[in-house]
Amino acid sequence: MIADLDESIRELLKAEMPIKNGEIDIAFDQPKREWSARLSKPTINLFLYDIRENPTLRHHEWERLTNNGGNGDIAHLKRSPYRVDCAYIITAWAADPEDEHRLLSRCLMSLFRNPVLPKEILAGSLVHQPFEIQAFLAQNDKLRNPAELWSAMDNEMRPSVPYVITIALDPWTAVSGPVVKTLILKPGQSPYRRYNRRIEGDHADATMTFIGGTVRKKSGDGEPIPGIDVAVKGTGRVARTDFEGQFVLGSLPEGEYTLMAWMLDGKVKESEIEVPSNGKNYDVLV
């Protein structure tokens, strides 16, 4: 993926500067003294000197994937990807300092115009990134002591610009399983507390149930309908179906209820349900 990022930056600079007939090289080498001594024409170099997770964008939770198969009884879940900052140092190399400054200016103008990498220049795996690829150029909190970097590379110090691009790295695979239609909560006491009820007093345990279902079209292939308001009559429990037509309602004591669904045309679809359902689902067909 990082190699695809290099190629995407190369394509961006070639398109924006523009670079014709190979008059300027774009390299990603470590700018050590031996490398710079071998250059034969003007070169823009982007050296990737640091890679680390972006803690501000850290969001490690389970995400529900779109069910393209249309089977509402199967759920597909996957952990959210890591967000990683790839930090480059940009330098320009030419025989004359004025040419270097001119080349560096053209490069900066091109990158400043693109705080988000355009989709048309993305290469390989970057085409399927789940987020926009944001770039931060010449930020003052990056590369605070460039002299140390140049000293480590055993080369003379020169104008250098930090360039940080945030990409998503997804090491996870999706997990599939049946959708939970009924969740029953049974508050209770530990065995020790039950043994000592004669001291603390006895309390009735209330069982509460959460239910879930899908609103689908009765005709055709049973396509799910998003944006439908669903309620349990007389309880104040209301929910709206998500992009897969699914809803969750609760908490409800055991018993018989009327499930109501408001259609987009204003009509109300009612169906009788039992909580818990004893194997039946809470889907609504309209």
Q: Could you give the percent of the chain with pLDDT greater than 70?
A: 84
Domains of the chain, each with CATH number or no CATH? 2-53+83-168 (3.30.2000), 180-285 (2.60.40.10)
Residue 199: pLDDT band (50, 70, 90) is very low
250 contacts 209 by C-beta, under 8 angstroms = yes
Q: Which of 99, 111, 81 is nearest to 14 (CA)?
A: 111
What number is the average pLDDT over the span 155-176? 86
pLDDT band at 195 (very low <50, low <70, confident <90, very high): very low
Judge residue 248's burial from the number of C-beta atoms within 10 Å of its C-beta, 0-12 exposed, 13-18 middle, 19 or more buried.
middle
If you count DSSP H runs as helices and E runs as strands, how many of each does the chain have, helices first?
6, 16
Give phi and psi for 100, each to the nearest 5.
Answer: -60, -45
pLDDT digits (tens, 9 = 90+) for 127-147: 999 999 999 999 877 777 777
Q: How many CB atoms are located within 10 Å of the residue 217 CB?
A: 13
Average pLDDT for the chain? 84
Residue 2: per-residue pLDDT: 93
In DSSP terms, which residues pair with 82 in a beta bridge? Answer: 169
Distance separating alpha carbons of residues 167 and 52, to the nearest angstrom? 11
- In which region does residue 112 sit, left (phi positive, over 0), alpha (psi from -120 to 50) or beta (all else)? alpha
- pLDDT tops 60 at residue 67: no
Burial class of residue 115 (count of CB atoms within 10 Å of its CB; 0-12, 13-18, 19+): exposed
Q: Is the pTM of this model over 0.95?
A: no
Confidence of residue 183 (pLDDT cuts 50, 70, 90): low
Q: Examine the pLDDT at 200 and tell me if it is beyond 50.
A: no
At 144 the pLDDT is: 72
* pLDDT above 50 (res 155): yes
Which range is most confident: 101-110, 190-199, 277-286?
101-110
**CA angle in degrees (0–180, nearest 5) for 161-164-168:** 165
- Pick from 26-30, 201-205, 207-211: least confident: 201-205
Please report, as a single letter, which amino acid is at residue 224.
Answer: P
Map residue 210 onto helix, strand or coil: strand
Give residue for tokens 């006895």: 202
Mean pLDDT lowest among 43-52, 69-78, 217-226:
69-78
- The pLDDT of 155-181, averaged and rounded, is 82
